[in-house]
Structure 1
Amino acid sequence: MKWEKKGFIFNVDGNYEWMNSYACGPVVDMISDDVWRIYFTTRDTKGRSRPTYLEVEAGNPQNVLYVHNEPLLDIGKIGTFDDCGVSVLSLLDHDGKKYMYYLGWTVRNTVSYHNSLGLAISEDGGKTFKKFSEGPLLSPTYKEPYCNGASFTMLDNDVWRLWYTSFVGWETYDNHPEPLYHIKYAESTNGIDWNREQIVSVDFIDGNKAGIARPSVIKEDGVYKMWYTYRGASDYRTNKENSYRIGYAESRDGKVFERLDNQMEISLSNEGWDSIMMTYPHVIKHDGKYWMFYNGNTFGKTGFGYAVCESV
C-alpha cells in the first residue's frame, strides 16, 4: 500500500483569539463534485479546542477556497464534560441531517485531561451545529473506568457502528503520567445509545501497552479497512522512534481487526511539518483512489496535509 505524499494543505494564522493555533484532526466531507469541506479543531489563546471548517477544491485540496471565521461549537458550561474543549471526530449523514461526533475535554488534578464522546447535529448541511445534549454519549463505566477518546462512526445497513479509543490506564514516566489506550467497538440502533460489549478492535502488540487511536474506516467488498494512529508508551512528543505513526488493519465482521501496519508504505519526511510525527488520519475514496488527510508534528500544531494511494 504505497502512499504518495502530496503536501501541506493548511494551518491557522493566529488572527483570531479562538483560532490562535493548531489545525487538528481533519475530517473531510465531500459536499459536492466541486467542493470538499474539511472540518478541523483549533485552539484559542488559552489552549481550549473548538471545531470549525474550511473548503477546498475537490481533488485539489491545496487550493483553499474558504476558511470559516467562527467556531461551530463552543465549550460547555462549567462542570460539564466539554467545558475545556470540543474536538471534531467524525461526520455522517442521516435523515437529512449531519451528525458530528466530537470529543469533550476537561482537565484533571492527577492527570492532564479527561475525554468523553459527544454529539452535535446540523440541519443546514453542515454549516452550523447544535449540541444534542449537555452530557456525553460515552463516559466511564465500572467496566471502563478510564475515559474514551477519538472515535469513528459509520451507519452500515441500519447498524450504527462505533470504533472508539478506550483508555486502559495511565503510567508515570519521568514523573509525568502518560495515557495508554487501544481501540474498541460498540453498536447502536439510533446513533445515540451505544451498547459496549468490551470488544477490542485493534489491540496492543504482544501486550505492550502504548497508544492506538483515531480510527478511520472504509467498507469495501465486505471488508472493513481501518487506518489509525499509534505510538510508543512514552517519549513520543519529539522522539521519532516513539512518535505517532499511521497504521492499518482489516476485518470481515467490523469488530475484531487484524493489524497490518507493515503494509503502510509511508514514512516521516526528512524535514518540515511532518518530519517528527504523522497522526490523526482521515481516509476517503475519490476517483478510484484513496486520499488520506493527516496531521504532522506536535499533534496538529503544524497543520495538516494529505497523501494519495492508488489501491489498497
Structure 2
Amino acid sequence: MKWIKKSLIYVPDGSSGWAKTTATLPTPYLRKDGSLRVFLGFLDDFNIGRIGYVDIDPENPKVIYKVSSQPVLNIGEEGAFDDNGVVPLSIIEYENKLFLYYVGFQKGVKVPYYMFCGLAISEDDGDTFYRHSKAPILDRTNNELFARCGVSVIRDANIWEMWYVGSIKEGWVYKDDKRLPLYQIKYLESQDGINWGFVEGKNCLNFKNNDEHGFGRPFVIKEGNVYKMFYSIRTLSKGYRIGYGESLDGVSWKRLDEQIGIDVSKEGWDSEMICYSAIFKYNNKTYIFYNGNRLGRTGFGYAILEENT
C-alpha cells in the first residue's frame, strides 16, 4: 500500500485553557448528521489530557466545521485511575449508544505513571459522555502492573474483540537516564464490550530487535477473513513509526511493516515521528489519520490511500 500525504488538519492555538496544546490519538466517528467527528486528547498547561473533538467534512477532511469548546470527558475524581488525564482510543456504536474506550492516567511515586483503560458511554451521538465505572475495565494483572490500555475494539459476529497494550514484567527501560515503558500488544474477547475478565491477553506481536521497546495504539480493521492492524512502533533511536500486520485469527500476526507505505516527511509537523494512526473509510476513499512530532504536539493530519487518488 502507499499513502499520499495531504495536510495537517488541526493543532490547538493555545487560546483554550483545557486544550492549550496537542491534539493526540485521532479517533474518527461518522455522526448521524453526516459530519466526521474526530475525538482527540487535548492537554492543558500541566500536560493533563481531556477528551474533545474536531468536526470535519468527510469528503474533504481539511474543512473544519467545529472544535469542541468544552471536554466531552473530563479527568476523573481524585484518587481514581484517570485523575491525571484522559485521551481517546476506540469507539463503537452499539444499541444507539457510543462506547468510547479511553486511557486514564495516574501519577506514580516510584514509577512515572500508570495507564489503564476506561469506558465512557454517550447517548447523544457523541456530544456528552458518562463513565461506565470509576474503575478501569482493564485493571492490572500479575505481570501487567503499569499499563493495560491503548485498545482497539471491534464487534464481529456478536463477539467483542480487543487488542490492547499491556506492560510486560520487566516494566521499564532506560535511555539517557529517562525511564521508558516496555509493553506489547495482546488480545482479549468479551460478550458485552464491558467485562473482559481478569486474565492477561494472548500475546500478538514481538519485538524485532533491542531498539524496539513498545507498540502504541493498535487500530484493527477486518476485511473479509483478514484482520489488518495499524500500530505504532516505539524505538529508542527514532521515537515512533507506524507499522502494519495481518492475521487470520486475530491472535497470530505477521508483521509486514515494510508494506505500510508511509513514513516521516523531510520537514514540517511530521518530520520527526509519525504515530497513533486510525483508519477511516468513506465512500470510495480510505483515510489514515495520524499524529506527527512530539506525540501530537504539532497536531493531527491525514493521508489517503493511493488507489483512491
Paired residues for 1:202-221 under 5 Å: 202-205=205-208, 209-221=212-224
Which residues of structure 1 form unaligned runs of 5+?
Answer: 235-240
Give runs of ≥4 in structure 1 deviating > 4 Å.
206-209
Match of 2:291 in 1: 295
Deviations 1:98-123 (A, max 9, x none): 00001000111222211000000001
| Paired residues of 1:28 and 1:36 also in contact (CA < 8 A) | yes
1:59: how far off? 1.8
Which residues of structure 2 form unaligned runs of 5+?
Answer: none
SS of the counterpart of 1:180?
strand
User: Which whole-Å CA distance do the structure 1 matches of 2:137 and 2:54 have between them?
Assistant: 27
SS of the counterpart of 2:294?
helix
User: Which whole-Å CA distance do the structure 1 matches of 2:88 and 2:207 have between them?
Assistant: 25
| Paired residues of 2:113 and 2:146 also in contact (CA < 8 A) | no
1:209: how far off? 5.0
1:206: how far off? 5.0
Paired residues for 1:143-158 under 5 Å: 143-158=143-158
2:175 is aligned with what amino acid?
Y
User: Which whole-Å CA distance do the structure 1 matches of 2:17 and 2:188 have between them?
Assistant: 37
1:86: how far off? 0.7
Residues 1:284 and 2:284 aligned together: no
1:183 is aligned with what amino acid?
I
When the two chains are superposed, the root-mean-square deviation of aligned CA atoms in Å is: 1.6
Query: How many residues were matched structurally?
Result: 305
| Paired residues of 1:149 and 1:167 also in contact (CA < 8 A) | no
1:242 is aligned with what amino acid?
K
User: Which whole-Å CA distance do the structure 1 matches of 2:229 and 2:33 have between them?
Assistant: 25
Give the TM-score taking structure 1 as reference length. 0.94
1:220 is aligned with what amino acid?
E
User: Which whole-Å CA distance do the structure 2 matches of 1:34 and 1:147 have between them?
Assistant: 36
Match of 1:237 in 2: none
Give the TM-score taking structure 2 as reference length. 0.95
Match of 1:178 in 2: 180
Match of 2:201 in 1: 198
1:272 to 255, 261, 268: 268
Match of 1:226 in 2: 229
Deviations 1:40-77 (A, max 9, x none): 01011221100001111112010001111000111111
2:195 is aligned with what amino acid?
D
Deviations 1:189-246 (A, max 9, x none): 11111144531122211576511110111111111111010021x3xxxxxx522111
User: Which whole-Å CA distance do the structure 1 matches of 2:140 and 2:250 have between them?
Assistant: 23
1:311: how far off? 5.2
| Paired residues of 1:243 and 1:277 also in contact (CA < 8 A) | yes
SS of the counterpart of 1:161?
strand
1:210 is aligned with what amino acid?
H
